[in-house]
């Protein structure tokens, strides 16, 4: 290296602690907690005194060291590839053997000799047991292997690499990214996806770009493609809350309630105050007939966001059935106690008119949720409903005379 290039390299590097000074040294110690590239003042201050002398080098030697390390990385990566090829070869041999043993025999059975059919019979009778064993062992290996690979990706911070991109390129990418979001807002999803795809060629593991592309696909109703991207995001960052929520939403819409609930639960383990996810778990539980548990999650969602009418609606939908049963029990007690006819008439009307009843249930639930009262279906609520305006009762009585149909 000539003197001019050495001087240029020294001038290009500035010390972070003393920006006015050129950086003259660098440290290769793995335990170094100081700025690795530093100036003469830092050296005189003995900031790297705890390191071995052999760990500190002249800035002139930096490029040579970097090139040498990059070359050695190629050898290591090639070794990993060979190991993976060996695993794939063994797996392909297993699949090939399975296909030879069990597949393509349907058209040959009639031509088989007796001893061949006996061998096929023995194999197929044990097929279920064999497949169960195979599935159990392969799933365990696959899950463990996949977790190890995903963990390595995170540990090595492969999704955070930025030194491949110049500052100028980063700025250009940010501008293009904003264009993609604007196109999404204008419902021009296909054009937005084209931009996101170009950006992902430059930044293949940029989670925000991946997420926006998946959102575009959702709007185009390409749920499977979006689902795959959300899965890729959480393989990079297992705590990406909004991607976990989106996966739960997709599975809920596909009626895979148990799988959806698992993603929602992972989400609230990250953020307990996510009202949408609390409501999502409630929906999963309602759809699997676990009504009491569903009510608990609806209530949590309401307490987190009392402005969302949908939360109240589904809470009321379950609560109304409970309330009707309570009203029927109250009516039965009034009959036994020979109470006044007017109270019985009120109960008949309220139980018969579900629309009016539901509206009042929602109103009362709203008031109670806002005060964070958990026991919503109470005797007080029943009495409030029973003691509603007498004019409403007369109106409903007139409907009854006109042929109104009642539950009771």
C-alpha dihedral over 94, 95, 97, 102, to 10 degrees? Answer: 140
Name beta bridge partners: 25.
38, 58
Same domain, 77 and 206: no
In a domain, 107, yes or no: no
pTM above 0.85, yes or no: no
Tokens found for residue 393: 């009762």
Same domain, 178 and 277: yes
Q: Region 21-30: what's the mean pLDDT? A: 88
Mean pLDDT of the chain, nearest integer: 78
- Provide the residue range defining the domain that includes 243: 167-305
pLDDT for 47-81, tens place per residue? Answer: 776 666 678 888 889 989 998 888 888 888 888 88
Same domain, 120 and 248: no
Point out the domain boundary residue: 305, 334, 367: 305
- Number of domains the chain is built from: 4
Q: Region 368-372: what's the mean pLDDT? A: 46
Name beta bridge partners: 131.
none
In a domain, 110, yes or no: no
Q: Region 372-385: what's the mean pLDDT? A: 47
Residue 263: per-residue pLDDT: 97
Residue 272: per-residue pLDDT: 94
**φ and ψ at 26, to 5 degrees?**
-145, 155
In angstroms, the CA 200 to CA 220 distance is 19
Residue 406: per-residue pLDDT: 32
What angle, 0 to 180 degrees and rounded to 10, lies between the N-to-C axes of helices 257-270 and 275-287?
150
In a domain, 229, yes or no: yes
Same domain, 78 and 124: no
Same domain, 122 and 146: yes
| pLDDT greater than 70 at residue 389 | no
Q: Region 175-185: what's the mean pLDDT? A: 95
Same domain, 397 and 320: yes
In angstroms, the CA 158 to CA 175 distance is 24
| pLDDT greater than 70 at residue 332 | no
Task: Give, in degrees to the nearest 5, the angle at Cα 109 between 103 and 115.
Answer: 105
Same domain, 213 and 277: yes
In a domain, 125, yes or no: yes
Point out the domain boundary residue: 288, 305, 322: 305
User: Are the C-beta atoms of 316 and 294 separated by less than 8 Å?
Assistant: no
In 3D, which of 64, 26, 14 has the Cα closest to residue 34?
A: 26
Q: Region 76-88: what's the mean pLDDT? A: 88
pLDDT for 340-368, tens place per residue? Answer: 444 444 445 444 554 454 555 555 555 44
Same domain, 131 and 89: no
Q: Region 100-122: what's the mean pLDDT? A: 85
In a domain, 161, yes or no: no
Name beta bridge partners: 166.
none
Same domain, 148 and 201: no
User: Are the C-beta atoms of 405 and 349 separated by less than 8 Å?
Assistant: no
Same domain, 279 and 174: yes
Same domain, 289 and 337: no
In a domain, 327, yes or no: yes
Q: Give the number of other Cβ atoms within 10 Å of residue 321's Cβ.
A: 11
User: Are the C-beta atoms of 184 and 192 separated by less than 8 Å?
Assistant: yes
Tokens found for residue 269: 């383990």
Q: Give the number of other Cβ atoms within 10 Å of residue 362's Cβ.
A: 18
Residue 327: per-residue pLDDT: 52
Tokens found for residue 304: 């987190």
Same domain, 269 and 174: yes
pLDDT for 141-153, tens place per residue? Answer: 888 888 888 788 7
| pLDDT greater than 90 at residue 116 | no
In 3D, which of 311, 240, 306 has the Cα closest to residue 271?
A: 240
In a domain, 99, yes or no: no
In a domain, 106, yes or no: no
Give the list of residues 6+ apart from residue 42 with CB closer than 8 angstroms, or none: 15, 17, 18, 25, 34, 35, 48
Residue 325: per-residue pLDDT: 57
Q: Which CATH number do you get for residue 263? A: 1.25.40.10
């Amino acid at each position: 290296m000539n003197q001019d290039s050495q001087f240029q390299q020294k001038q290009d590097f500035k010390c972070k602690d003393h920006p006015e000074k050129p950086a003259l040294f660098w440290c290769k110690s793995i335990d170094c907690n100081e700025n690795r590239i530093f100036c003469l003042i830092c050296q005189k201050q003995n900031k790297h005194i705890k390191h071995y002398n052999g760990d500190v080098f002249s800035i002139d030697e930096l490029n040579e060291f970097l090139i040498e390390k990059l070359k050695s990385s190629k050898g290591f990566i090639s070794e990993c590839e060979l190991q993976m090829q060996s695993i794939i070869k063994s797996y392909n041999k297993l699949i090939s053997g399975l296909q030879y043993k069990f597949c393509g025999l349907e058209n040959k059975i009639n031509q088989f000799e007796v001893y061949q059919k006996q061998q096929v019979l023995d194999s197929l009778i044990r097929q279920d047991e064999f497949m169960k064993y195979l599935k159990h062992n392969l799933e365990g290996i696959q899950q463990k292997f996949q977790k190890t690979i995903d963990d390595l990706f995170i540990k090595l911070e492969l999704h955070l690499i930025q030194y491949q991109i110049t500052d100028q390129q980063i700025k250009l990418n940010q501008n293009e990214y904003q264009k993609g979001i604007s196109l999404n807002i204008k419902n021009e999803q296909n054009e937005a996806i084209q931009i996101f795809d170009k950006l992902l060629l430059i930044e293949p593991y940029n989670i925000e770009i991946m997420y926006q592309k998946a959102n575009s696909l959702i709007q185009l109703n390409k749920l499977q493609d979006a689902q795959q991207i959300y899965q890729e995001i959480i393989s990079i960052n297992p705590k990406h809350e909004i991607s976990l929520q989106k996966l739960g939403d997709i599975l809920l819409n596909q009626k895979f309630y148990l799988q959806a609930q698992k993603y929602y639960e992972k989400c609230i383990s990250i953020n307990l105050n996510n009202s949408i996810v609390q409501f999502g778990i409630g929906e999963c539980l309602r759809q699997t007939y676990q009504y009491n548990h569903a009510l608990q999650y609806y209530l949590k969602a309401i307490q987190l966001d009392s402005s969302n009418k949908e939360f109240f609606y589904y809470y009321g939908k379950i609560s109304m059935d409970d309330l009707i049963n309570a009203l029927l029990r109250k009516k039965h007690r009034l009959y036994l106690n020979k109470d006044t006819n007017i109270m019985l008439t009120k109960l008949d009307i309220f139980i018969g008119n579900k629309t009016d009843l539901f509206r009042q249930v929602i109103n009362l639930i709203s008031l109670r949720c806002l005060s964070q009262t958990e026991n919503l279906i109470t005797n007080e609520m029943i009495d409030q409903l029973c003691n509603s305006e007498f004019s409403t009762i007369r109106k409903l009585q007139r409907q009854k005379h006109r042929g109104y149909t009642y539950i009771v």
